[in-house]
Structure 1
Amino acid sequence: MSTASTSWFAGAATLFSGCLLTVVAAQALDKAPLRDSWTAQETATLASMRLKEAGPRPVDLSNSYEQRADAAALGRALFNDTRLSRNGQVACASCHSADKQFQDSRQFGQGLGTGERRTMPVMGAAHSPFFFWDGRKDSAWSQALGPFEDAAEHGANRVQLVKLVQAHYKERYQAVFGPMPDLGKLPDDASPAGTPSEHAAWAAMPESSRDAVNRVFANMGKSIAAFERNISYGESRFDRYAEATVAGDGRGQEALSRQEVRGLRLFLTKGQCVTCHNGPLLTDHAFHNTGIPPIDPASPDRGRADGLRQLLKDEFNCLSRYSDARPDQCGELQFLATNDPGQLAAFRTPSLRNVAERAPYMHAGQLTSLEEVVEHYARSPKAVLGHSELAQPGEKHADRPAIRLSAADIQDLAAFLGALTGPVVQAD
């Protein structure tokens, strides 16, 4: 071998060795010791809270159309159509605005009138077994129908809505759901949920006409649910931190600041937040009375206690003739406890994902900041109606101790909640 060849090989070997050392050094840096140590149980809890653990969106057996792209396209159009309201100015998107986390940032929902509760976002709806703060609906498609006939929201009536679909969406509707049923001669305005005159007009309609209108109305909800199914949360800095912790990636733990990590430790321990805000969507999908003060103490909101009764008699629930599910597939509805005193003034646990972007807080916007929310749980006031699940200071509580947080703890917890914000993702 020539001297030149020997020099070339020696140089190449040196270069390769240097590159290899650089790669090894980079890998060593990437796998630096964990900045923050956690117990095995805490690490397992963090792993369970990663968004990816939510898995595929559950299938709603009561809606056979929810995974169809043409149904979602129709649903998007209906979601944004202001004609589907009494005054032609209110759409679903009026309260569920895409640029406001699919809610409205108001204390109360605002349509034709002012509602009595906060607007809930639609992200993650496919994972929830119940809807609205009181759980009076058991599917996304049934939930979508409620505001249409609510006097404070769209203020429309069922026949008016179906006529609008027939006039403006007939071809698109039929491409999804098949031929539109023969609606016969319908009055201008009629509904079982409207004004006295609309009630009377509805009662005077033949049963076959009422059923045909209900069928189209239900399908409106099913197409809107198909659209909403494609709206979801994206990963947050917390998810990156949890992933790094599980993987033993010290550098990845820099996704959260020291203060945010202190808040996370409180979230999992003495703050007791994880008791209800657990799993990948940071909610147990249940209903709790935590002593939130009512807007009107003289007439407090009964929450789940009333919502449960409404759900069981809802003409569009999972067991209804307009559901696509078999009765044996409606287990959530068939095995509900109807005599649980804990349901009184209990409200649905919201997801904490993107919570920093959704002030004000609680079911009626009673609290204006995350610090106020944490302070409420630290105070643990007695409930005005029903019994709060939170332990009172000095009380012997069967399930949990009282929550004791310092002023610094409250700031740390609020800081951590800000790390739960990620993008809102809309699938095509």
Structure 2
Amino acid sequence: MLMKSTVSVVALLASLAGPAMAENLRPDALAPLDPPPAPADNPTTAAKVALGAKLFFDPKVSGNNGMPCSACHLPEAGWAIQDPISFGYPGTTHWRNSQTIVNSAYYGKLFWAGASKSLEGQARSAARGAVAGNGEDDLMEARLAFVPEYRKAFREIFGDEYPLIRNAYRAMAAFQRTLVQTDTPFDNYMRGDDDALSEQQKRGLEVFAGKGNCITCHNGPLLSDEAYYNIGVPPSPIWEEDPLAQITFRFELYAKGSTEEMYRHTKDDPGLYFRTKQKADKGKFRTPSLRYTKYTYPFMHNGTIETLADVVEFYDRGGDTNEFAANKSKLIQPLGLTSGEKEDLVAFLESLSGPEILMEEPDIPEIAPLPVAQQ
């Protein structure tokens, strides 16, 4: 409550003081990003990062030797994919939007419903997921063991006689912790550079912290409180139009222990309910970071909102309605923003992204050929 009051007072004073005060508005609830943390049991090293980069792009770490992590996290698509729903394992589709892995090093809750608590756990879940990687540990380890370059790297970095898949996940997590962006215009402004934001972006920050009420959930250095909300995102039309998506979604409802009634009749993503089985959690999803969103459209857990301008319009009208409307957060109310305030807010949101992070795909080592038997 103290944080919200402080923000409201700052915003009020800025509006009363006029343009001079607004130019230097730096809400206490926001902060620039510091370098990412690394767990003590998986320190980040150059060799580990280099190995993790190869594994991230290598389809050997998947069920069918054809679905690397990069299939759903493309550098040129914001390290996600710019489709509403992510790709699935052949014969399936996914049921949620692919999130960017840029700045994922800072999350304490990975995936839309917080199913993993670390990048190491996230890598394991993605590689083994039935509608994503669909990988079996022993099969993936066998593929890696037939690559001399991997055997050498795993031995030197982890001491493995042969590559262990759990260490592959540790290497990929180390690589992901290097995909961070701490020098956006917003970060530079929060560190004291008054010229880092344009006048329009400063006005947008004022809307963000005041009338728009965005800061209530999008706060801290990551601009996410990592809490869960039902904000009224409508269901994806893909469930009505795509038979493959319908089959996949039914499988998810069944596999995650939904009731018979839900399995037969639900047409919308229950979100956090999959983990808690509490009716009050139906339709709730973790607050995503607003960083790097310039490149990660479309938005929301099911990709139903196309642009940042559309996101602002969604919140301005007080959200929409989904199947779990009884759980819609009371925080989501009509805002009454003017057209100018909406444009300013979009401009500020764009300041949360710096230059696009791109990299050339590393050379993927091949499985060594089997020796030819002598006649």
Q: Quick check: TM above 0.5?
A: yes
Paired residues in the alignment total 309
Q: 1:102 to 1:419 in 2, by over 3 A?
A: same
Is 1:409 paired with 2:341?
Answer: yes
User: Which amino acid is the alignment partner of residue 60 of structure 2?
Assistant: R
Is the 2:23–2:199 contact (alpha carbons within 8 Å) kept by the matching residues of 1? no
Identify the residue that residue 272 of structure 2 maps to in structure 1: 304
| SS class of match (1:163) | helix
Q: Give how far 1:225 is off.
A: 0.4
Q: Give how far 1:229 is off.
A: 1.1
Q: Which stretch shows the higher mean deviation, 106-115 or 156-165?
A: 106-115
Identify the residue that residue 37 of structure 1 maps to in structure 2: 21
1:291 and 1:60 map into 2 onto residues whose CA distance is: 36
Identify the residue that residue 142 of structure 2 maps to in structure 1: 163
1:306 and 1:152 map into 2 onto residues whose CA distance is: 16
Is 1:375 paired with 2:298?
Answer: no
Query: What does the per-residue CA deviation read over 1:221-267, in whole Å, with 9 as the maximum and x for residues that have no partner?
Result: 111101111110132222333334xxxxxxx5343333322221110
Q: 1:390 to 1:356 in 2, by over 3 A?
A: farther
| SS class of match (1:142) | helix
Identify the residue that residue 218 of structure 2 maps to in structure 1: 277
Q: Give how far 1:68 is off.
A: 2.9
Q: Give how far 1:159 is off.
A: 1.9
Identify the residue that residue 259 of structure 1 maps to in structure 2: 200
Identify the residue that residue 122 of structure 1 maps to in structure 2: 101
User: Which amino acid is the alignment partner of residue 236 of structure 1?
Assistant: T
Is the 2:231–2:332 contact (alpha carbons within 8 Å) kept by the matching residues of 1? no
Query: What does the per-residue CA deviation read over 1:299-345, in whole Å, with 9 as the maximum and x for residues that have no partner?
Result: 21111221357xxxxxxxxxxxxxxxxxxxxxxxxxxxxx6x55322
| SS class of match (1:43) | coil
User: Which amino acid is the alignment partner of residue 109 of structure 1?
Assistant: S
Identify the residue that residue 389 of structure 1 maps to in structure 2: 329
Q: Give how far 1:49 is off.
A: 2.9
Q: 1:81 to 1:131 in 2, by over 3 A?
A: same
- What's the TM-score once normalised by structure 1's chain length? 0.65
Q: Structure 2: which 5+ residue stretches go unaligned?
A: 1-17, 241-265, 360-375
Identify the residue that residue 250 of structure 2 maps to in structure 1: none
Is 1:94 paired with 2:71?
Answer: yes
Match of 1:218 among 150, 166, 174: 166
Q: Give how far 1:387 is off.
A: 1.1
Is 1:291 paired with 2:232?
Answer: yes
Query: What does the per-residue CA deviation read over 1:54-87, in whole Å, with 9 as the maximum and x for residues that have no partner?
Result: 33422325xx234233222221111111233344
2:336 and 2:274 map into 1 onto residues whose CA distance is: 32
Within-5 A mapping of 1:101-140 = 101-111=78-88, 112=90, 113-140=92-119
Is 1:79 paired with 2:56?
Answer: yes
Q: Which stretch shows the higher mean deviation, 285-294 or 265-274?
A: 285-294
Within-5 A mapping of 1:310-349 = 342-349=280-287
Query: What does the per-residue CA deviation read over 1:351-391, in whole Å, with 9 as the maximum and x for residues that have no partner?
Result: 11121221100011010111211111122234421511144
Q: 1:179 to 1:236 in 2, by over 3 A?
A: closer
Is the 2:60–2:144 contact (alpha carbons within 8 Å) kept by the matching residues of 1? no
Identify the residue that residue 237 of structure 1 maps to in structure 2: 185
Q: Give how far 1:292 is off.
A: 0.9
Q: Give how far 1:35 is off.
A: 6.0
Identify the residue that residue 173 of structure 1 maps to in structure 2: 154
| SS class of match (1:231) | coil
Is the 2:226–2:288 contact (alpha carbons within 8 Å) kept by the matching residues of 1? yes
Q: Give how far 1:98 is off.
A: 2.2
2:291 and 2:43 map into 1 onto residues whose CA distance is: 24
1:93 and 1:133 map into 2 onto residues whose CA distance is: 18
Q: Percent identity?
A: 29
2:297 and 2:177 map into 1 onto residues whose CA distance is: 24
Identify the residue that residue 268 of structure 1 maps to in structure 2: 209
Over the residues paired in the alignment, what is the CA RMSD in angstroms?
2.8
Q: Give how far 1:425 is off.
A: 6.1
Q: Structure 1: which 5+ residue stretches go unaligned?
A: 1-33, 182-214, 245-251, 310-338, 394-401
Q: Give how far 1:274 is off.
A: 0.6
- What's the TM-score once normalised by structure 2's chain length? 0.74
Is the 1:95–1:104 contact (alpha carbons within 8 Å) kept by the matching residues of 2? yes
User: Which amino acid is the alignment partner of residue 149 of structure 1?
Assistant: R
Is the 1:374–1:410 contact (alpha carbons within 8 Å) kept by the matching residues of 2? yes
Q: Give how far 1:272 is off.
A: 0.6
Is the 2:224–2:288 contact (alpha carbons within 8 Å) kept by the matching residues of 1? yes
Is the 2:224–2:289 contact (alpha carbons within 8 Å) kept by the matching residues of 1? yes
Within-5 A mapping of 1:18-29 = none
1:119 and 1:293 map into 2 onto residues whose CA distance is: 17
1:368 and 1:410 map into 2 onto residues whose CA distance is: 16
Is the 2:86–2:97 contact (alpha carbons within 8 Å) kept by the matching residues of 1? yes
